[in-house]
């Protein structure tokens, strides 16, 4: 039987794409279960948008218009938009309807983001890539919602 397709934050699979050069790898059992149920499409919007790893952490400081800066006050909006566009295209091209994306990321979060002050305060909101994927009704899960995804 053909497996359902799933876009997945590549850091959740252990790829060293996180801003600090590390990853957010899920446990092996979970990764095996995901592989058995889904055809995985690993993707890191920030790397695909052209940002290096490691990189200075970024936060969204405005949604209208969208503006993302790094902690050194450099404007990284274009890189975030480019990564989000590429994620959107990948999903459209491959008819992907679900995504498992890392929480709290300015790209990947589906519930909370940092508030743009680089002081660890979180507010309700979604990452730039998630806002693009929401526009074509991709169902987004984060790593704390795995039970629902794997039900
Ligand atoms: Fe992981 Fe997304 Fe951050 Fe890339 S942008 S490191 S995939 S949370």
Residue nearest to atom 3 of ligand 1 (CA): 18
Ligand 1 cavity residues, CB under 6 Å: 9-11, 17-18, 44-46, 102, 105, 107-108
Mean pLDDT over the full length of the chain: 98
Residue 5 CA to ligand 1 center (angstroms) comes to 19
pLDDT at 1: 79
For residue 9, the ligand 1 atom closest to its alpha carbon is 7
- Whole-angstrom Cα distance, residue 74 to residue 22? 22
Annotate the chain with DSSP letters as a single string.
-PPEEEEEEGGGGT-S-STTS---PPPHHHHHHHHHHEEEEEE-HHHHTT--SS---EEEEEETTEEEEETT--B-HHHHHHHHHHHHHHHHHHT--EEE--TT-TTT-SSEEE-SSSSS-EEE---HHHHHHHTTT-EEE-GGGHHHHT-
Grade residue 147 by pLDDT with cuts at 50, 70 and 90.
very high
How remote is the CA of residue 146 from the centroid of ligand 1, in Å? 17
pTM, two decimal places: 0.97
Contact yes or no for 105/58 (Cβ under 8 A): no
pLDDT digits (tens, 9 = 90+) for 2-31: 999 999 999 999 999 999 999 999 999 999
């Amino acid at each position: 039987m053909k497996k359902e397709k799933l876009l997945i934050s590549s850091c959740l699979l252990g790829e060293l794409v996180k801003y600090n050069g590390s990853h957010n790898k899920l446990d092996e059992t979970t990764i095996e279960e995901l592989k058995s149920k889904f055809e995985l499409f690993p993707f890191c919007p920030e790397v695909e948008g052209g940002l290096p790893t490691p990189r200075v952490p970024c936060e969204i400081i405005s949604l209208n218009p969208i503006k993302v800066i790094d902690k050194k006050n450099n404007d990284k909006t274009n890189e975030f938009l480019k990564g989000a566009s590429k994620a959107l295209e990948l999903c459209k091209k491959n008819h992907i309807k679900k995504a498992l994306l890392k929480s709290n990321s300015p790209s990947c979060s589906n519930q909370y983001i940092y508030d743009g002050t680089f002081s660890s305060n979180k507010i309700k909101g979604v990452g730039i890539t998630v806002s693009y994927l929401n526009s074509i009704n991709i169902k987004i899960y984060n790593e704390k919602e795995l039970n629902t995804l794997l039900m």
